[in-house]
Amino acid sequence: MILRRVLAQTGPTKVAEFLTHLAVDGHVSASTQNQALSALLFLFRDLLQVELPALDAARASKPKRLPVVLSRGEVQRLLAELDGRDLLIAQLLYGSGLRVMECLRLRIKDVRFDQHQIVVRDGKGEKDRVTVLPDGARGALEDQIARARRLHHDDLSDGFGAVALPYALARKYPHAEKEPGWQFVFPSRKLSRDPRSGNVRRHHLHDTTFSQSLRAAAQRAELTPAVHSHCLRHSFATHLLESGTDIRTVQDLLGHKDVSTTMIYTHVLNRPGIAVRSPLD
């Protein structure tokens, strides 16, 4: 009770001073300050039942970091150290500019071989977009979808085969969850129980499974940069710009809301406007 009274008397001014202290004197990162703010808001709102007004506090600056981009040669060395399913996922991240979760959540119906397209549903910002399907991954992708279909057929025979659907689609289309087109292209090897519904289903492959394979491949390829899955998406964008692809096209393929987000890849090129070269060269 004493602690409750002391906190209740603290007020927004002291909270703002504390957050300012973190940024100015503590030199904490923006994410650390935001975490402290979230904890304080929870404390006051849910424990003390006090709504804090807008806080006039200095904000920690968010560092502007350039993305890690692999050279074309480094990408080739990395892909050479992968095989099977992991190689296909890496090819789609680099060849289509997918985020790793966009790739793992890909449904069979959204791979359009005739149009050479991949439809990304509910990407970042809850947006759909269309990106290119690389010809170099077509054969492996067809084989992967065939395996996913066979696995789904076996699940149906065993009394399972229903997949989780986004939003309220399961109520709107009650039979869609067992249709082949809605199944994941990269299904998990094991069935699991959905903690929300209690239903036993086959989820998509977990992202840590691929991330571990990618890190091991990067070590075998002796790559100096710290390689993670998003490096391949960064490399997709940068290499397209290097080859002369219009930045608006790259923006659409990546699903960026604002072209200024895509512009960061022109800085990675170290060639302002893409066409400028060093006088030493």
In the block, residue with structure tokens 């065939």 = 146
Identified catalytic residue from 99, 107, 129, 239: 99
Q: Which pLDDT does position 30 carry in this prediction?
A: 73
Question: Which residue(s) pair with 132 in the sheet?
Answer: 117
Confidence of residue 5 (pLDDT cuts 50, 70, 90): low
Write down the pTM of the prediction: 0.76
99 given a catalytic annotation: yes
Q: Average model confidence (pLDDT) for the chain? A: 84
Confidence of residue 90 (pLDDT cuts 50, 70, 90): very high
Q: Which pLDDT does position 1 carry in this prediction?
A: 45
pLDDT, tens only, 31-56: 787 787 777 777 777 766 667 666 66
Q: Which pLDDT does position 172 carry in this prediction?
A: 78
Residues 175, 187: Cα–Cα separation, whole Å: 19
Quick one: tokens of 52?
A: 């804090």
The pLDDT of residue 8 is above 90 = no
Comparison of pLDDT for 145 and 44, the residue scoring more: 145
Comparison of pLDDT for 163 and 196, the residue scoring more: 163
Q: Which pLDDT does position 35 carry in this prediction?
A: 82
The pLDDT of residue 138 is above 80 = yes
In the block, residue with structure tokens 């869609």 = 176
Identified catalytic residue from 124, 178, 228, 271: 124
Comparison of pLDDT for 76 and 176, the residue scoring more: 76
The pLDDT of residue 60 is above 60 = yes
116 given a catalytic annotation: no
206 given a catalytic annotation: no
167 given a catalytic annotation: no
Confidence of residue 224 (pLDDT cuts 50, 70, 90): confident
62 given a catalytic annotation: no
Lowest mean per-residue pLDDT among 5-9, 127-131, 248-252: 5-9
256 given a catalytic annotation: yes
Residues 133, 138: Cα–Cα separation, whole Å: 7
Identified catalytic residue from 4, 72, 112, 230: 230
Q: Which pLDDT does position 24 carry in this prediction?
A: 72
Question: Which residue(s) pair with 192 in the sheet?
Answer: 201
Q: What is the arithmetic mean of pLDDT over 91-114?
A: 95
Comparison of pLDDT for 163 and 36, the residue scoring more: 163
Identified catalytic residue from 107, 129, 152, 256: 256
Q: Which pLDDT does position 278 carry in this prediction?
A: 59
Q: Assign 3-class secondary structure to 19-58.
A: HHHHHHCCCCCHHHHHHHHHHHHHHHHHHCCCCCCCCCCC
The domains found in the chain, sorted by start residue, are 2-47 (no CATH), 66-281 (1.10.443.10)
